[in-house]
């Protein structure tokens, strides 16, 4: 089966522009806790965010020493997220997800209707 094999092709632009744009969207989602975007972009960002947080939980579970796990998480976060939002991920979001015992489903999506200018469907992404 080829489910979501080419999900990045849904955003039509160059490969480098795609990765930078997705990193910006993920950073804004982490920074504000919510993000309003089109339906196609929301699908891609939701999949990226779920992969990002599940990878962080996998890294923390892999190490026995807390300092080693934190150091490895910081390394992974700085490779993906722009700015100082990594502190929020490590201090606030990651302990909350560990305490809840979540493995997937870190982002919820809500339909907002249609955009005024071109009637594209809008979606609100929200961190749980």
pLDDT at residue 102, rounded to an integer: 85
pLDDT at residue 106, rounded to an integer: 92
- Copy the structure tokens of residue 94: 């990651």
Query: Confidence class of residue 8 from pLDDT cuts 50, 70 and 90?
Result: low
Q: Rounded to whole angstroms, how far apart are CA atoms 18 and 22?
A: 6
Residues across the chain: 128
Give the tens place of pLDDT for each residue, 62-119. Answer: 988 889 999 999 999 999 999 888 888 888 999 999 899 888 889 999 999 998 888 9
Task: Please report which residue ranges of 1-128 form alpha helices under DSSP H.
Answer: 15-32, 39-62, 66-80, 85-88, 94-100
Give the tens place of pLDDT for each residue, 10-64. Answer: 566 666 777 888 899 999 999 999 999 998 889 989 999 999 999 999 999 998 8
Is it the case that residue 2 has pLDDT exceeding 70?
no
Is it the case that residue 125 has pLDDT exceeding 80?
yes
Is it the case that residue 7 has pLDDT exceeding 90?
no
| C-beta separation of 57 from 49 below 8 A | no
* Domains detected in the chain: 13-127 (3.90.1030.10)
């Amino acid at each position: 089966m080829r489910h979501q094999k080419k999900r990045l092709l849904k955003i039509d632009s160059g490969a480098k522009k795609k990765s930078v744009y997705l990193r910006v969207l993920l950073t804004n989602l982490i920074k504000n806790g919510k993000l309003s975007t089109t339906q196609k972009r929301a699908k891609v960002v939701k999949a990226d965010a779920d992969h990002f947080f599940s990878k962080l939980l996998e890294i923390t579970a892999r190490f026995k020493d807390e300092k080693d796990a934190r150091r490895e998480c910081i390394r992974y976060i700085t490779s993906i997220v722009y700015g100082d939002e990594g502190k929020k991920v490590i201090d606030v979001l990651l302990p909350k997800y560990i305490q809840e015992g979540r493995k997937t489903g870190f982002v919820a999506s809500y339909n907002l209707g249609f955009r005024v200018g071109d009637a594209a469907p809008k979606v609100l992404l929200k961190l749980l």
